[in-house]
Structure 1
Amino acid sequence: MTSDVLTTATVATDRVLRALDRIAEVDRPEVWITLRDRAALLADAAAVDARIAAGDHLPLAGLVVAVKDNVDVAGLPTTAACPEFAYTPEVTAAGVARLVDAGAVVLGKTNLDQFATGLVGTRSPYGAVRCSWDPALVSGGSSSGSAVAVALGIADIGLGTDTAGSGRVPAALNGIVGIKATIGVIPTHGVVPACVDYDCLTVFAASLEVAATATAVMAGPEPRDPRSRPWPADVRLSTGSTVRVAVPRPEDLTALCPQYRTAFDAAVRDAQESGVRIATVDISALLDAATLLYDGAVVAERYAAVGEFLAVPRAGADPTVAAIVAAAKAPAAHELVADLDALVHARARARELLADVDALLLPTTTEHPTIAEVQADPVAINRRMGTYTNFCNLLDLCAVAVPARPTESGAPFGITVVAPAFADQIAVDVAAHLTGAPSPDFVGAGVELAVFGAHLRGQALHFQLEELGARFVETVHTSDAYRLVALNTTPPKPGLVRHGPGAGAPIVGEVFRVSEAGLGRFLAQLPAPMTLTSVELSDGRHVVGFGCTNDVVADATDITEHGGWVAYRQS
Structure 2
Amino acid sequence: MNLFLFDDDTVPLPPITTSQAVQRVLSVFDALSRGLGPAPLVRLRCREDVLVDAKAVDERVRLGERLPLVGTLVAAPDEPVVVGRLAQAGAVVAGHTVPGSPSPGSEARVETLSKLDALLVTEPPAGCRGVVGFVPTRGLLPTSDSGVTTVLARDAAVAQQVAAAVTGPDPRAGSRGFSRHWPESVRLSAGEHPRVGVPDRPFLAALAPMDAARLLATADTLRVAGALTNEVELSGGGADGICRRRAAHALQYHDAILLPLGSGACSLSRLVTHLDTAAMLLPLRFDGGVGLLTKPFDDQVVLDLAGLLTGSQAPRPYPDVGVRLIAFGSFLRGQPRAVDLERVGARFTGFATTSRHYRLMLLEQDPPEAGVVPARGAAEGGPLLGEEWLLAPAALGEFVAHLPAPMRLGTVDLADGTSSLAILCDPAAARHGADLTAWECWRAYLRHLSAVRPAAVRAGS
**TM-score normalised by the chain length of structure 2:** 0.84
- The reply to whether residue 429 of structure 1 matches residue 386 of structure 2 is no
Whole-Å separation in 2 of the counterparts to 1:228 and 1:48: 28
Task: Show the counterpart of 2:63.
Answer: 54
Give the letter for the 1:357 counterpart: H
Give the letter for the 1:543 counterpart: S
**Cα deviations by residue, 1:70-93 (Å, 9 ceiling, x for unpaired):** x32xxxxxxxxxxxxxxxxxxx1x
Instruction: Output aligned runs, 1:87-102, within 5 Å.
Output: 92=80, 94-102=81-89
Distance 1:499 1:173, change over 3 A: closer
- The reply to whether residue 230 of structure 1 matches residue 168 of structure 2 is no
- The reply to whether residue 394 of structure 1 matches residue 274 of structure 2 is yes
Task: Show the counterpart of 1:107.
Answer: 94
- The reply to whether residue 175 of structure 1 matches residue 130 of structure 2 is yes
Distance 1:549 1:277, change over 3 A: closer
- The reply to whether residue 415 of structure 1 matches residue 415 of structure 2 is no
> Secondary structure, in 3 states, of the residue corresponding to 2:269?
coil
> Secondary structure, in 3 states, of the residue corresponding to 2:163?
helix
- The reply to whether residue 451 of structure 1 matches residue 327 of structure 2 is yes
Task: Show the counterpart of 1:296.
Answer: none
Distance 1:291 1:160, change over 3 A: farther
**Cα deviations by residue, 1:524-554 (Å, 9 ceiling, x for unpaired):** 1122221101221111222110122232343
* Contact 2:203/2:235 (8 A) holds in 1: yes
Q: What stretches of structure 2 of length at least 5 have no aligned partner?
A: 1-14, 449-461
* Contact 1:403/1:413 (8 A) holds in 2: no
Give the letter for the 2:442 counterpart: W
Whole-Å separation in 2 of the counterparts to 1:546 and 1:277: 29
Alpha-carbon distance, 1:511 to partner: 0.5
- The reply to whether residue 63 of structure 1 matches residue 72 of structure 2 is yes
Distance 1:436 1:287, change over 3 A: farther
Larger proportion of helix = 1
Alpha-carbon distance, 1:501 to partner: 7.0
Distance 1:31 1:518, change over 3 A: same
Task: Show the counterpart of 2:258.
Answer: 361
Instruction: Output aligned runs, 1:67-78, within 5 Å.
Output: 67-68=76-77, 71-72=78-79
Alpha-carbon distance, 1:420 to partner: 0.7
Q: Choose the corresponding residue for 2:51, options 42, 46, 49.
A: 42
Count of residue pairs brought into register by the alignment = 429
Whole-Å separation in 2 of the counterparts to 1:67 and 1:386: 28
* Contact 2:158/2:314 (8 A) holds in 1: no
> Secondary structure, in 3 states, of the residue corresponding to 1:531?
strand
Whole-Å separation in 2 of the counterparts to 1:272 and 1:495: 34
Q: Choose the corresponding residue for 2:340, options 460, 464, 477.
A: 464
Whole-Å separation in 2 of the counterparts to 1:246 and 1:386: 14
Whole-Å separation in 2 of the counterparts to 1:501 and 1:565: 21
Task: Show the counterpart of 1:218.
Answer: 166
Task: Show the counterpart of 2:454.
Answer: none
Whole-Å separation in 2 of the counterparts to 1:270 and 1:561: 41
Q: What stretches of structure 1 of length at least 5 have no aligned partner?
A: 73-91, 122-138, 293-342, 367-383
Alpha-carbon distance, 1:396 to partner: 0.5
Instruction: Output aligned runs, 1:132-147, within 5 Å.
Output: 139=107
Distance 1:52 1:385, change over 3 A: farther
> Secondary structure, in 3 states, of the residue corresponding to 1:555?
coil
Instruction: Output aligned runs, 1:12-23, within 5 Å.
Output: 12-23=21-32
Give the letter for the 2:395 counterpart: G
Alpha-carbon distance, 1:509 to partner: 0.5
* Contact 2:363/2:369 (8 A) holds in 1: yes
Whole-Å separation in 2 of the counterparts to 1:442 and 1:362: 23
Whole-Å separation in 2 of the counterparts to 1:538 and 1:422: 35
**Cα deviations by residue, 1:226-274 (Å, 9 ceiling, x for unpaired):** 4311211221111222233212234435764454344334434444455
Whole-Å separation in 2 of the counterparts to 1:156 and 1:501: 54
Task: Show the counterpart of 1:206.
Answer: 154
* Contact 1:178/1:202 (8 A) holds in 2: yes
> Secondary structure, in 3 states, of the residue corresponding to 1:183?
coil
Whole-Å separation in 2 of the counterparts to 1:512 and 1:553: 24
**Aligned sequence identity (%):** 34
- The reply to whether residue 280 of structure 1 matches residue 231 of structure 2 is yes
Alpha-carbon distance, 1:221 to partner: 2.1
Instruction: Output aligned runs, 1:277-316, within 5 Å.
Output: 277-283=228-234, 288-289=239-240
Whole-Å separation in 2 of the counterparts to 1:478 and 1:492: 22
**Cα deviations by residue, 1:123-146 (Å, 9 ceiling, x for unpaired):** xxxxxxxxxxxxxxxx55xxx9xx
* Contact 1:216/1:442 (8 A) holds in 2: yes
Give the letter for the 2:192 counterpart: S
Whole-Å separation in 1 of the counterparts to 2:249 and 2:39: 44
Task: Show the counterpart of 1:561.
Answer: 438
Distance 1:431 1:290, change over 3 A: farther
**TM-score normalised by the chain length of structure 1:** 0.69
* Contact 2:351/2:388 (8 A) holds in 1: yes
Whole-Å separation in 2 of the counterparts to 1:29 and 1:480: 57
Alpha-carbon distance, 1:286 to partner: 6.8
Task: Show the counterpart of 2:451.
Answer: none
> Secondary structure, in 3 states, of the residue corresponding to 1:472?
strand
Instruction: Output aligned runs, 1:114-125, within 5 Å.
Output: 118-120=103-105
Whole-Å separation in 2 of the counterparts to 1:491 and 1:451: 18
CA RMSD of aligned residues (A): 2.9
Give the letter for the 1:101 counterpart: Q
> Secondary structure, in 3 states, of the residue corresponding to 1:552?
coil
Whole-Å separation in 2 of the counterparts to 1:6 and 1:425: 43
- The reply to whether residue 492 of structure 1 matches residue 374 of structure 2 is no
Give the letter for the 2:97 counterpart: T
**Cα deviations by residue, 1:56-109 (Å, 9 ceiling, x for unpaired):** 1211001111124xx32xxxxxxxxxxxxxxxxxxx1x2332221110001012
Whole-Å separation in 1 of the counterparts to 2:425 and 2:221: 46
Alpha-carbon distance, 1:423 to partner: 0.9
Q: Which 4+ runs in 1 deviate beyond 6 A?
A: none
**Which deviates more, 561-570 or 261-270?**
261-270
* Contact 2:259/2:267 (8 A) holds in 1: no
Whole-Å separation in 2 of the counterparts to 1:112 and 1:254: 36
